[in-house]
Structure 1
Amino acid sequence: MSTVVVSGLGVAAPGALDVETFWANLIAGRPAFAPAAALPDSGVIVGAVEEGSTFADLPIPLPAACDRNAVLAVAAAGQALTQAGLVPGTVAPERVAVVLGNGGGGLTSLDVQYERLFAQGKRPHPFSVPRAMGSSSASWVSIAYGAQGPCFVVASACASATHAIGVAAALVRSGAVDVAITGGTEAPLSRGTLLAWNAMKIMSRTGCRPFSRDRDGLVVAEGAGVLVLEREAHARARGLRPDVAVAGFGSGADAGDIVAPTADGMARAMRAALQDAGLSPAEIAYVNAHGTGTRANDLTEVQAMRDVFGAGALPPTSSIKGSTGHSLGAAGGLEAVATVLAMRRALAPPTAGLDDPDPELALDAIPLTARGMAIPAAMSNSFAFGGLNASLILRRLN
């Protein structure tokens, strides 16, 4: 079984169309929220990705059959492949997999077509199905970059990207493929989708403040976070010097409530990831938390961490959702990118907006200011509606 290393990173995030800008925003604790264009005068705020040169420079002209979630994925994947030095012809195309997480599929396209049909009385667009289908983002990445290996989307709501990275790492580790393009993408800022989230009464009008005493909900966002994974020997043969490995993955289900999380299920996923990595809880220096900013999620997540690490031994922990918002099925991809960067730069990103930590949580959530620290091993967690839990362990290579 091969060591799986990270050789490339790419993002399309609120306030950032490249990895360096993304990192600068995280370290500054700079949120990128704005009023929802799809719900004017509602007070709802979102994290939207601005279009820019990244989209203009894509390797294929994305046609009318392409939803925005696929555009974000193709843009982020291109950055990751460039950083990895994987130009066409570098790897046999049948040895390159594409495994992406996506919670909702072509949500923007669905909204547009339903409005055409029911409000305007027009026929659906001929490409409505390829726009909306849940696997379209993986297909477009495959088409754009010539990847002919296993290609599919993992859908597990807000844990989709973390599940996708775990599955992709398993493909590489087993030798089934040499390279995997993985992570997640989501474009949920359509009117219908935002109205549906708003109906759940968990959206903040003032900003996402994970682990804060006055936290009042999440901020829905769009985005894509993509990693290129490959066998360590394969990367070294190409002249790379890999420094971070995907060491472990754990997942499982609460088998409980469709929306209410349980600490037991989260803890099982974390323990499974630690066991897969062959590490003890004490060896984890930093946790990138799911940290949505809702009352229930933050409390339950900390309870699960106490179960795994011990009440008095929780490692420094932060949530980047105070800066990026919650990009649903893409969140784990952006958070994995952030965790890799934190390890490489020995700098843990802060939890933005955390100027009044909740004393009930008793958590070192790295409030407001980034913290310099060596991070030889880290955990990145995603927990989703339906009780779908996923945890990644990343470790530095010597």
Structure 2
Amino acid sequence: MRDFADITVTGLGVTTAVGQGKAAFAQGLFSGAHRFAVMDRPGRQLDTRFVGAQIPALESTSRLGARELRTVSFTGQVALATLEEAWTEARLDDFDAERIGLVVGGSNLQQRELVLAHDRHRAKPRFLRPSYGLSFLDTDLCGLCTAAFGIRGFAHTLGGASASGQLAIIEAAEAVSSGRVDVCVALGALADLSYWELLGLHSMGAMASEDCADAPELACRPFDRRRDGFVYGEACGALVIERRGARPGRQDTPYARLSGWSVQLDGNRNPNPSLDGETRAIRQALGRAGLAPEAIDYVNPHGTASLVGDETEVAALRACGLTHAALNATKSITGHGLTAAGAVEAVAVLLQMQHGRLHPTRNLTDPIDASLHWVRDEAVEAEVRHSLSLSMGFGGINTALCMSTCDS
């Protein structure tokens, strides 16, 4: 069995509707804040009233000038700002650029920008901005980030639907573990949805209905009996992953080590979850971490508020012997970041471990299983030495990630 004991997280960046940057995000989490409202970004509403959580303002990165930023999509701007925070904390400017990699989690990331471009130039397509030839490709984010930060190791995108953010972390950890690079940044990129994607997700029954527009603060309710599907939330997360000892003389204490992980497939094109796939992912991640289920102090579940998905996830936790662990649902505060969700939730886990506190779960008034150890109305103090974070994506993708304190 491969030894993952020296794979650590040394930098974090995060941008969400409830806070940009680690400090603001942590404050938003522990207070149970929200920014759920009827979404109003251009290209996101048609004759509909979809509820979501939008980033209120974005602090731009200093890596690009104003002229360059004019050609960068909202997804790209959020990626740069989020990566800047993680990069600066990990002090990567002084590291060998050829030994740094980048994995961007997500696909079809800039849909709203593309719809706006199509609408703007429908009558005069030959006036289309040349940068469109780059921006309709997800690899544009790789080019943007590697140019801005000087990354010279490798970079690629990785699509796993709502598991993309956690898949990016796992791929980055594998790259460091194998020696391909010494440091790798995992970026869960913002999926900028247009009204087309919102309509499609709504029509398949995955999203909360438009009926919640009159009380948007009550719309997002993972694991509650009154849940009605997921509520979208703009978000982006970045983690710097490196092998312990890769930089001799570095004194900073890592956030945690990535002690085990797993990716399991269901062989299923459809969006429905699989109890077998989820339990296999959990058990393999625990096995690779060398942890018995009772060693896990806290689980951060996928928890989208899907009618079937939440029930299946609770059944998986029961089947894997994790009913003793504390539970909360980060999406109840941030909304569902889709491609970014797994990375943002990993950041949330690490901040909770660092602060010794677990954030509340909004709108959990009638849990589907009240016997589990939910953190409900208020944040609670908790020592977390071993945690488990879960992500699932359409197409039968199941991932699990164990994070442990460096002294455990």
TM-score, normalising length: structure 1:
0.93
Moved more, 58-67 or 265-274: 58-67
- Are positions 1:304 and 2:316 aligned together? yes
Identify the residue that residue 365 of structure 1 maps to in structure 2.
374
Distance 2:35 2:221 in 1: 13
- Percent identity reads 31
1:246-395 to structure 2, matched below 5 A, reads 246-309=258-321, 313-359=323-369, 362-395=371-404
> Contact (CA 8 Å) 1:248, 1:393: kept in 2 or not?
yes
By how many angstroms is 1:336 displaced?
Answer: 0.4
Identify the residue that residue 195 of structure 1 maps to in structure 2.
199
Identify the residue that residue 17 of structure 1 maps to in structure 2.
20
Q: Tell me: CA distance 1:143–1:56, structure 2 relative to 1, closer, same or farther (3 Å).
A: closer
Distance 1:390 1:236 in 2: 32
Show CA shifts across 1:289-330 (max 9, x none): 1000121111111111111126xx341111110110001000
Letter in 2 for 1:115: D
Identify the residue that residue 166 of structure 1 maps to in structure 2.
170
By how many angstroms is 1:129 displaced?
Answer: 2.9
- Are positions 1:239 and 2:251 aligned together? yes
Identify the residue that residue 4 of structure 1 maps to in structure 2.
7
Q: Tell me: CA distance 1:39–1:177, structure 2 relative to 1, closer, same or farther (3 Å).
A: same
SS at match of 1:226: strand
- Are positions 1:84 and 2:87 aligned together? no
Show CA shifts across 1:243-271 (max 9, x none): 41111110111113511111110111111
Show CA shifts across 1:353-392 (max 9, x none): 2122224x64322112112111001011100111111111
Q: Tell me: CA distance 1:141–1:56, structure 2 relative to 1, closer, same or farther (3 Å).
A: closer
SS at match of 1:152: strand
SS at match of 1:252: strand
Letter in 1 for 2:345: E
TM-score, normalising length: structure 2:
0.91
Of 48, 55, 64, 2:60 maps to 55
Moved more, 329-338 or 266-275: 266-275
Show CA shifts across 1:84-140 (max 9, x none): 222x2x11101000112013222123212332454x343343222311212222322
By how many angstroms is 1:285 displaced?
Answer: 0.6
Identify the residue that residue 33 of structure 1 maps to in structure 2.
36
- Are positions 1:208 and 2:220 aligned together? yes
Distance 2:199 2:63 in 1: 32
Moved over 6 A (4+): none
- Are positions 1:69 and 2:78 aligned together? no
> Contact (CA 8 Å) 2:106, 2:191: kept in 1 or not?
no
> Contact (CA 8 Å) 1:101, 1:163: kept in 2 or not?
yes
SS at match of 1:114: helix
Distance 1:82 1:197 in 2: 37
Distance 1:92 1:110 in 2: 36
Task: State the Cα RMSD in Å.
Answer: 1.9
Distance 1:236 1:277 in 2: 25
> Contact (CA 8 Å) 1:64, 1:127: kept in 2 or not?
no
> Contact (CA 8 Å) 1:188, 1:221: kept in 2 or not?
no
By how many angstroms is 1:163 displaced?
Answer: 0.5
Q: Tell me: CA distance 1:314–1:235, structure 2 relative to 1, closer, same or farther (3 Å).
A: farther
> Contact (CA 8 Å) 1:66, 1:130: kept in 2 or not?
no
Distance 1:215 1:196 in 2: 19
By how many angstroms is 1:349 displaced?
Answer: 1.6
> Contact (CA 8 Å) 2:102, 2:187: kept in 1 or not?
no
By how many angstroms is 1:39 displaced?
Answer: 1.4
> Contact (CA 8 Å) 1:67, 1:108: kept in 2 or not?
no
Identify the residue that residue 130 of structure 1 maps to in structure 2.
134
Gaps of 5+ in 2: none
- Are positions 1:99 and 2:103 aligned together? yes
SS at match of 1:239: coil
Q: Tell me: CA distance 1:384–1:330, structure 2 relative to 1, closer, same or farther (3 Å).
A: same
> Contact (CA 8 Å) 1:105, 1:135: kept in 2 or not?
no
Q: Tell me: CA distance 1:244–1:113, structure 2 relative to 1, closer, same or farther (3 Å).
A: same
Show CA shifts across 1:43-95 (max 9, x none): 3111111233x215444544454322121111111001111222x2x111010
Distance 2:144 2:64 in 1: 11
By how many angstroms is 1:41 displaced?
Answer: 6.4
Distance 2:55 2:252 in 1: 31
Letter in 2 for 1:151: A
> Contact (CA 8 Å) 2:187, 2:236: kept in 1 or not?
yes
